[in-house]
Amino acid sequence: MRRVGRIAAVYRAVDGASAVSAPQHRMSTAAHFSSSSNKSYAKSNWLFNNLLTDLSARTAAAHAVAGTMLFSVAATTLTEEVHAKVAVPPELRPKDLVLYQYEACPFCNKVKAFLDYYDLPYKVIEVNPISKKELKWSDYKKVPVVVVDGEQMVNSSDIIDQLYKKVRSADSTFDANEESKWRKWVDDHLVHMLSPNIYRSTSEALESFDYITTHGNFSFTERITAKYAGAAAMYFVSKKLKKKYNITDERAALYEAAETWVDALKGRDFLGGSNPNLADLAVFGVLRPIRYLKSGKDMVENTRIGDWYSRMESAVGSARIQA
């Protein structure tokens, strides 16, 4: 259990995982990544104090992955129905956009969903969760971090808000009440359902960490250590999170959240109507990392969310370019 506390503490390396002063950090997704509502998210990390200072390099790998990466499998499949992307006027498009991220981070995926849908070409810098050397130039060490034409932006929801204001046309409607309500729901509720599900059993924890360590920026030694030590640690941490968020049956809670979202659509293709809005992109971005893990497959098989998710995969696509 001592190791669990240490691994959990590294959540502070992620946007929203623990910075009490940042309004975005309130989420505690599986590994408590970055989020837009920091205060409640920081509280969820009450187990996670004082990590890495006394850890060996090998143990640190597992600890960092547990605190910086979540799970994921952002696999995207095309569907027969195609929804057109939003065309951003050339004069509003950033000339240079770089995203510093962890591939498995749901909040990084939330930002990527926005960039992909608005077809804003971006380069990705995968950050090593141990050394964070890729962020040595920045005083801010959590992810996601976006640099747009030399301007640094942090905190996933804040990044999206700032970029949307830059690229939207003058006559577009920004952040309508319904859209704001459901974006907040993503950060205040939906993300809390993820960690107890992807680490529900030892086999699911290993599945999650296998993806994390395979797609993250780790050395061979860090990868092996993190996979097994991290999976074991997060299995126990997930039980603490269930208790904290009053979750009795984690799968039932995930299914209920999925059904709640489908009900909010009210028969529409998207919450935004014929095209996704920022709330659609937020839900999709957060769920994308778990979609092809066992928990995500179970969610699609046992709820009505599958059709909406397939439409989102088709609509969002990818605007990522090689760094």
Catalytically active residues, by annotation: 102, 105, 107-108
Pairing label, strands 97-101, 145-148:
antiparallel
Helix (H, G, I), strand (E, B) or coil at 232: helix
Tokens, residue 271 = 């919450």
Say if residue 144 is preceded by a cis peptide, omega within 30 of 0: yes
Other CB atoms closer than 10 Å to residue 239's CB: what's the count? Answer: 15
Note whether 100 and 68 are within 8 A (CB). Answer: no
Contact 94, 166 (CB under 8 A): yes
Return phi, psi of residue 162, to 5°: -65, -40
Dist. CA 62–CA 5, nearest whole Å: 12
> Residues 106, 295: contact at Cβ < 8 Å?
no
Residue whose pair of structure tokens reads 């778990």 in the numeric block: 290
89 Cβ contact list (under 8 Å, min separation 6): 169
Pairing of the two strands 97-101 and 151-154? unpaired
Q: What whole-number distance in Å separates Cα of residue 115 and Cα of residue 122?
A: 8
Token pair for residue 185?
């729901």
Q: Which of 96, 290, 135, 146 is nearest to 217 (CA)?
A: 135
Residue type, 221: T
Which phi and psi angles does 104 have, rounded to 5°?
-90, 0
- Cβ-contact 262, 303 below 8 angstroms: yes
